[in-house]
Amino acid sequence: MRSLKLAVIGDPIAHTLSPQIHHAIAGKLGVDCSYTAHHVPLAQLESFVEMVRREGFDGFNITIPHKQNIIPYLAGLDPYAASCGAVNTVRIQDGNLYGYNTDGDGLKAALAAHGIHLGERKVLLLGAGGAALSICRKAVETGAEVHLLCRDPRKAAAFRGPHVTIGAMDRAGLCWGASQADLLINATPLGMSGIPDDFTDLSFLDGFSGAVCDIVYKPAETTLFRESRQRGLLAMNGLGMLIYQAVYAFSIFLGESFDLDEMAAHVTKVMEQSLYGG
């Protein structure tokens, strides 16, 4: 039986779903897997890296705030991760660390599972944080046009480039953007459980006839998701992206491919039960 010694790091890390998702993947593949969550403040990142080398870990996932901080420790960086300036998956081979970012492929595969091909789309992307940048890079790489809206366009310098336009996320920006796009992706935390902010005016959806992807996955039905469905739009939440990015990460750790869609369907059942109770 193959065995893998894996981890996830972040600060905070208490609410991570990664151990549950990766154990579900390993169980289905018959891989003997230990996957542990580690609270790693920035000052302890170097000693964590020394520990995983010493203890023979096969790899680890990374969440906020270390997706950029890990880069100086890497012996190699995948070109897409380099273009995002962020790493969410590290494979360790012979004591060397190699960085990848599976968020973009995760989103692309989750969309494809709903019949949506990212590369053919005019995307209205909301938010200019780390998740939005990964999505923007993957969208452009696959041939999409992106119109990015954020609260402060001055913060969106990293997004500038061919096939990307940038505007302010106000009512006029949302209405105009929605009228031009055929895929809306929310990559802000608006509507997420535990934060006070949510969309207050979704009337911009009245001029929209495409698909809606909210990368927030808790709750299962955000205000954006619910109002999109009520308008008869195809809508999906962020659980698919979360699961597919983990499935891609596991195939990197394993160094082997497997049926990613079949695996994602299996893990989705496990996580829907765990997160939403049904």
Catalytic residue, candidates 5, 28, 67, 108: 67
Look up residue 66 and give its amino acid. Answer: H
Interaction residues for ligand NAP, span 162-191 (CB under 6 A) = 169, 187-190
Q: How far is the CB of 215 from ligand NAP (least distance, A)?
A: 4
Q: How far is the CB of 244 from ligand NAP (least distance, A)?
A: 8
Place of tokens 């151990």: 19
Near ligand NAP by CB under 6 A: residue from 61, 245, 251, 268: 245
Q: Is 115 helix (H, G, I), strand (E, B) or coil?
A: coil
Asked if 217 touches ligand NAP (CB under 6 A), the answer is yes
67 is catalytic: yes
- Which contiguous run of DSSP H or E holds residue 37? strand 32-39
Near ligand NAP by CB under 6 A: residue from 242, 263, 264, 271: 242
- According to DSSP, the residues that pair with 61 across neighbouring strands are 8, 89
- Decide: 147 and 165 in contact? Cβ < 8 Å: yes
Near ligand NAP by CB under 6 A: residue from 215, 224, 247, 252: 215
The angle at the Cα of 272, spanning 271 to 276, to the nearest 5 degrees, equals: 120
- Which contiguous run of DSSP H or E holds residue 145? strand 145-150
Give the catalytic positions in this structure.
67
List residues near ligand NAP by CB under 6 A: 103, 127-132, 150-152, 155, 169, 187-190, 192, 197, 215-217, 238, 241-242, 245
